[in-house]
Structure 1
Amino acid sequence: MDDTPPSTNLRSSAKTRRALAEERHAMSSSSPSSPYPPSTATTGSLVPTRRNSPFLPTPLETAILALFPALLAFGTLFSVLSPQVRRAEFDPTTQSHAQHPDEAPGYFARKDNLLNVFFVKRGWFWTTVAFAAFVLTHPTFRGGRGAGGGSSPKRFVTACTRWALITGAWFAATQWCFGPPLIDRHFMLTGGRCEVVLQEARELEKAAALDTGHVLSALACKSAGGAWKGGHDISGHVFMLVLSSGFLLSEVGWVYWRHRGRRDDRSIVMHDRAVKGAGVEADSTTERTGGRPEDALALGGKAVAVVVGLNCWMLLMTAIYFHTWFEKVTGLVASAIALYAVYILPRFVPALRQIVGLPGA
């Protein structure tokens, strides 16, 4: 026989009805078009939670990518405060503090240092090698134990598509874009030109051709014996080093994160404009409950770590010894635009996301 007083039963029933009403209100107030819908499924609470904006990097991405402006700021400050660097007069033509190897304030102030010659000058080759090693060796792409029981051709194809887009941005900015690369076009638009430095009489004909503006790229100017002067020279070194590092960290970072079973806090906009977590579109074979530690990065991931480490070191050396602060800032901004277009834009453009995918998904 139930000895519970009737008043207690009534109070309990009222609390239950009130809790259900609050839950229905919370669920109904979650508009599909709202960028920050409340969620009770993951927290077990009726307190609404805010998703990260699909239009911006996540807090984790922001913290990692903040490394690049921090290196540039530290290097620029060091170049101002270091007596050794200040004593070496900055040459705007060569964009460095080293007019002659014997006068260089440090080994990495010389453009013929080994890392600059064999690594930075061939930077995209090493970036591609590291990326290829990663996608060919990591379980997420090749299947097998720890990869959910099989490989995913779609993940491999979308990863290669993103590499092609980032490579296209690097090529158009620094190598060729239906003529001079974009960085050289910008230099000329801001008043730059190729000035003749050869003084011998037998070079007068070549000098006349140079003065008429027939040389439209820094490489052609240097090959013809001229000097690239006058305009705003976006730092190609900063652009390439940040673009390479951002690309590799984005590709490896999210694969590693999901492979270890960590929460993916990216948000995406669906075709019906609803904002959801990136996991809703993830390949089921990418869901992790924790992979083997030795598989988290694999051999290719370690190669990526080496390339990113060298990139960061040379970015610091560039910040200390080469280019003006504004040229370094514009190089950083140009690379950030390319990275945003490939890794953030697809999060709120579903049609683009179907083509390029998301790393780790």
Structure 2
Amino acid sequence: MNSTDDRPSPILRNERTPSPKPRQPPRNNPYLPTPTEVFFLALYPLVLLFGTLYAVLSPTVRAAPYDHTTQSHIQDPSLAPSYFARKNNLFNVLFVKKGWGWITLSFIGFVLTHPSLKSPRARVKAGIRWGIVTACWVFVTQWFFGPGIIDRGFRISGGGCDAETELGMKGLVSAAACRAAGGRWKGGHDISGHVFLLVLGSGFLLQEVGWVVGRKRLLKEERTVVMIDGAVKGAELEKERRDREEINGDELGHGGKFAVFVVGLSVWMLLMTAIYFHTWFEKLTGLLVALAGLYVTYILPRFVPAIRDIVGLPGI
């Protein structure tokens, strides 16, 4: 009779069940803004919504005479509901009307003074990104193989210059030409140039300064990119280590502080625009066009490697 086999079961013989690997948090979608970017981008429609509701609910603003042709309140100081409702207020004349100059000046100051942007490569790529958003600004507000997109949209939607008929003049296809002829630009959909400029410019500075300054301390999340082989990786893998220095002390620096000031003033003037100028739909289209420009500049390169090789990513 065979004896019972007392040898331990193979399952018990010096074998350990491997401990499960900790689950990695899901990567951010490279086709969409990161959660932090969504938070800051959401501030723009919230500011516009608050300003629009304030204009509707405020007895002072609601009772003030409004000129629907110029999309602003009557400019007589005694009738305007606020100093900021007048187009000749100093903030509008000296800041918004020269807005892209202020955006560019603050950006140059940051690039030339921040230690992480000392390498020629980093500065060139930052300059390329500035060139892209500047081209967006030019195409929308100034020139797009003729009149800018805002003026083209106004004409396509049925608007025009009253001087064309009243003065017998033809070919006044831009708001600037119409005003120069003593006419008024009316009748069509007027994409808010102020909203477009203020959102595009401040969003540009937030991307350029935020990812450089906040990458180590504030922005713990990662941007993801699509590699040439289609794999989704963290953007830090593409970080060039040459010509980089550790950032110590005052990370913003004077250039960064000036850029933050320009962003803050832009948001304030965006609120004033939301309260005193344009219809809600004109403000909405100005916002959407600006967000499209930011998406092309900062999100598109994350999933198109060929573009990313040219324009780079801020802080990488």
| TM-score category, normalised to shorter length | over 0.9
Contact 1:264-1:278 at 8 Å conserved across structures: no
Contact 1:166-1:247 at 8 Å conserved across structures: yes
The 3-state SS of whatever aligns with 1:10 is: coil
Cα shift readout 1:292-332 (whole Å, capped 9, x = no counterpart)? 231x1111100101100110000000000000000000000
Quote the residue 2:288 is aligned against: 333
Contact 1:187-1:231 at 8 Å conserved across structures: yes
* Residue 125 (1) aligns with residue 108 (2): no
Q: Structure 2 CA distance, aligned partners of 1:10 and 1:257?
A: 52
* Residue 271 (1) aligns with residue 228 (2): yes
How big is the shift at 1:108?
A: 0.1
TM-score by length of 2: 0.93
The 3-state SS of whatever aligns with 1:49 is: coil
Contact 2:44-2:199 at 8 Å conserved across structures: yes
Contact 1:346-1:353 at 8 Å conserved across structures: yes
TM-score by length of 1: 0.81
The 3-state SS of whatever aligns with 2:123 is: helix
- Work out the number of aligned pairs and report it: 310
Quote the residue 2:32 is aligned against: 56
Aligned counterpart for 2:41 among listed residues 48, 65, 83: 65
Cα shift readout 1:248-303 (whole Å, capped 9, x = no counterpart)? 00000000122548535111000000000110101125888x73231x11111001
Quote the residue 1:218 is aligned against: 175
* Residue 293 (1) aligns with residue 249 (2): yes
The 3-state SS of whatever aligns with 2:233 is: strand
> CA 1:260/1:48 → structure 2, altered by over 3 Å: closer, same or farther?
closer
Quote the residue 1:186 is aligned against: 153
Aligned counterpart for 1:208 among listed residues 148, 168, 188: 168
Quote the residue 1:104 is aligned against: 80
Which has the larger helix fraction?
A: 1
Q: Structure 2 CA distance, aligned partners of 1:241 and 1:119?
A: 10
Q: Structure 1 CA distance, aligned partners of 2:153 and 2:50?
A: 27
Contact 1:192-1:232 at 8 Å conserved across structures: yes
Map 1:86-105 to 2 at 5 A: 86-105=62-81
Quote the residue 1:28 is aligned against: none
RMSD: 2.2
Cα shift readout 1:183-226 (whole Å, capped 9, x = no counterpart)? 000000000000139xxxxxx9x8101xx4x1010011011010
Aligned counterpart for 2:273 among listed residues 301, 318, 325: 318
* Residue 15 (1) aligns with residue 17 (2): yes
Map 1:125-144 to 2 at 5 A: 125-142=101-118
- Segments of structure 2 that go 5 or more residues without pairing to the other structure are 1-6
> CA 1:139/1:264 → structure 2, altered by over 3 Å: closer, same or farther?
farther
Of residues 52-61 and 259-268 in structure 1, the stretch that sits farther from structure 2 once superposed is 259-268
Overall identity of the aligned pairs, in %: 55
> CA 1:124/1:47 → structure 2, altered by over 3 Å: closer, same or farther?
same
* Residue 254 (1) aligns with residue 176 (2): no
> CA 1:15/1:238 → structure 2, altered by over 3 Å: closer, same or farther?
same
How big is the shift at 1:102?
A: 2.1
> CA 1:11/1:184 → structure 2, altered by over 3 Å: closer, same or farther?
farther
- Segments of structure 1 that go 5 or more residues without pairing to the other structure are 23-44, 143-151, 198-203
The 3-state SS of whatever aligns with 1:47 is: coil
The 3-state SS of whatever aligns with 1:268 is: strand
